[in-house]
Structure 1
Amino acid sequence: MKIIRNLEFQGKQTAVCIGKFDGIHKGHRLLIEQAKKENKPIVMISFSVDEAKVLYTPYEKEKLAEYLGIDCLLEIPLTKEFCSQTPEEFAKKLLCDTCDAASVIVGSDFRFGAGRSGDTDTLQQLGEKLGFSVTVLSKLELGGEVVSSTRIRSLIAKGKMEQANELLGTPYFLTGVVQKGNQLGRTMETPTANIYPDAHKVLPPYGVYAVFVDVEGKRYKGICNLGVKPTIPGGNEVGFEVWLFNFSGDLYDKELTAYFVSFLREERKFASLTQLKEQITRDTVLAKQILSQKESEWHPESFLH
């Protein structure tokens, strides 16, 4: 998959889907599935927005887009010059000159051009004039509400991982490179891998979660603690600490992807490390039960590969 972060790209008779694509949730995936029906190279146009929090970092978004079969991810910075274009300039420069779009797929709320002056009707008129087809898809509804990144962010912020994952399609995940921690887990017979999440990533509440973890092409079950580890002296930096069941080896400097399956309990301070260890044992029993159940429920293609 090509990753382009400017307009210096030259497509050739492409199928273009446009949106923010934060999370690339089930609603977004309808656009991608429609683009695949065109049997042309798929270009996903996503706009770089300086939002305080996003579901996925740029790198995580790239991993997911590639997994879903996108040929080119075109990340457009929303500069003052770009945002001042008329709808026709937008269509000519981006869709025709850059992408050579044969077809364009958007959601029903799509707006473009200066002051969001263009809508789907405008786009269809420009398509007829400039020579590309336009497909407009209705918003996907699940559970009586529209599937949106805003709705998913809210669910994740409340720790409702099962509900968020149902809307995402791929379970909410966190990717990072393992860094060296205080190695306390080794003394408790629960050696952990430590990752420090991106500051702009939407995170669930501090607590303990059942997770599936991919590392070096293999998948493991595990539990993780997300938070500041209040029982451990000097622990105040927000971190992700995961213990993989049935794993032995060195994870330092290796990339892992953790899928958050279920919230087990809130993070809390224990009076002693012995109490913490006893609680981890209880957490492990519960996590294994949940993960064994989810393993049979979830289709393997729900995950990245």
Structure 2
Amino acid sequence: MELIRGIHNILPQHKGCVLTIGNFDGVHLGHQAVLAQVKQLAQSKQLPSCVMVFEPQPLELFAGSDAPARISRFREKYLALAELGIDRLLCVGFNRAFAAQDPEQFIEDLLLDKLGVQHLIVGDDFHFGQARSGNYALLERAASKYGFGLNSTSSLKLEQQRVSSTLIRSALQADQLHLAETMLGRPFALTGRVRHGRKLGRNLGFPTANVWLYRKKLPVSGVYAITARTCFGVFQGVANIGNRPTVQGVREQLEAHLFDFNQDLYGSQIEVVLRHKLRAEQRFDNLDALKQQIAVDEAAAKQYFSQQPALLNSLT
């Protein structure tokens, strides 16, 4: 999948596509249904399929720390869209100037002049431009005026429940991992690059892979039984997600202790799938107490996996 980072990198050869626009946070089953429509229509028209997303996501700009927690960071979103066979991903830098532009300018300059959109698929609640004054009705008038196709999306339902990023986020925050997995179409996972830490885990006898998560807010926190995909294969383990109050952590990160593993992961990417929550994150009075609890967590995770043999080598 081709990545176009920024409007300034749209080239003449990018003109002509079937486009959809949105946050696509989580790339869940509802998103996947929309993307299947985009792909099918693009193939019928012999055009590239294109997805437009924004970084930061609009609410992250306007609501700041009150913005919803992210289900997926940009890299995770990119990989999920690529796996679904989308041809192009346009990542538009979202700032107040972009948000304040005239909505008709957005249509004429970006959608038509730069992208040459032949067909657009968006939700009928899509708003854009100054004071969110651009809406589906305006797109309908533009489609009629300029001759491009337009479709609205319909929300996918599972057992009469609408699938949405908001519902998935709520399920994760309520520790309902199975419900989140059902709506995502895959287990919830966090990815990142393993970095050097303070080696406290190693000194306590439980070496950990430390991963900065690069999110303003996480939808999950606590201690989990995990499976992790590494460059050396798939391993079971236990992970702490949060700000590590016992050692006065200053950023939210993931620390994964992998069972029966003794390799160097520094600098490599790791994918950590949350399988079962063991407990909430907590502060301990001293490192000895923390060490004892880690041993308890490891035993609890191994007990969980002993009852889930299908998870031994699976991330699906």
Tell me, what secondary structure is at the counterpart of 1:178?
Answer: strand
Distance 2:248 2:133 in 1: 50
Distance 2:70 2:169 in 1: 8
Shift of 1:242: 0.8
> Is 1:286 the equivalent of 2:303?
yes
Change (3 A) 1:99 1:181: same
Distance 2:244 2:143 in 1: 55
Change (3 A) 1:274 1:46: closer
Q: 1:197·1:240 contact (CA, 8 Å) conserved in 2? A: yes
Q: Which runs of 5+ in 1 are unaligned?
A: none
> Is 1:43 the equivalent of 2:60?
no
Distance 1:212 1:178 in 2: 15
Tell me, what secondary structure is at the counterpart of 1:236?
Answer: coil
Shift of 1:178: 1.4
Matches within 5 A, 1:47-58: 47-48=54-55, 49=58, 50=61, 51-52=64-65, 53-58=69-74
Q: 2:15·2:116 contact (CA, 8 Å) conserved in 1? A: yes
2:266 corresponds in structure 1 to 252
> Is 1:157 the equivalent of 2:173?
yes
Distance 2:113 2:176 in 1: 44
> Is 1:236 the equivalent of 2:237?
no
1:28 paired residue among 13, 27, 31:
31
> Is 1:4 the equivalent of 2:5?
yes
> Is 1:191 the equivalent of 2:191?
no
Distance 2:95 2:262 in 1: 48
Q: 1:46·1:74 contact (CA, 8 Å) conserved in 2? A: yes
Tell me, what secondary structure is at the counterpart of 2:104?
Answer: helix
Q: 1:221·1:291 contact (CA, 8 Å) conserved in 2? A: no
Shift of 1:7: 4.4
Distance 1:211 1:295 in 2: 11
Tell me, what secondary structure is at the counterpart of 1:272?
Answer: helix
Q: Which has the higher helix share?
A: 2
Give, as a single letter, the amino acid of the residue that structure 1 aligns with 2:253: G
Distance 1:110 1:143 in 2: 25
Distance 2:307 2:6 in 1: 40
Deviations 1:165-208 (A, max 9, x none): 22222432222221233445446654321123224142413x22
Give, as a single letter, the amino acid of the residue that structure 1 aligns with 2:264: D
Structure 2 length as normaliser, TM-score? Answer: 0.81
Change (3 A) 1:236 1:47: closer
Structure 1 length as normaliser, TM-score? Answer: 0.83
Q: 1:177·1:255 contact (CA, 8 Å) conserved in 2? A: yes
Deviations 1:194-236 (A, max 9, x none): 123224142413x221222122273322221223555x6x353
Distance 2:207 2:95 in 1: 46
Give, as a single letter, the amino acid of the residue that structure 2 aligns with 1:213: A
Q: 1:106·1:136 contact (CA, 8 Å) conserved in 2? A: yes
Shift of 1:241: 1.3
Tell me, what secondary structure is at the counterpart of 2:7?
Answer: coil
Q: 2:224·2:240 contact (CA, 8 Å) conserved in 1? A: yes
1:59 corresponds in structure 2 to 75
Shift of 1:140: 1.9
2:107 paired residue among 74, 86, 91:
91
Q: Which runs of 5+ in 2 are unaligned?
A: none
Report the RMSD for the aligned CA atoms in angstroms: 2.9
2:239 corresponds in structure 1 to 224
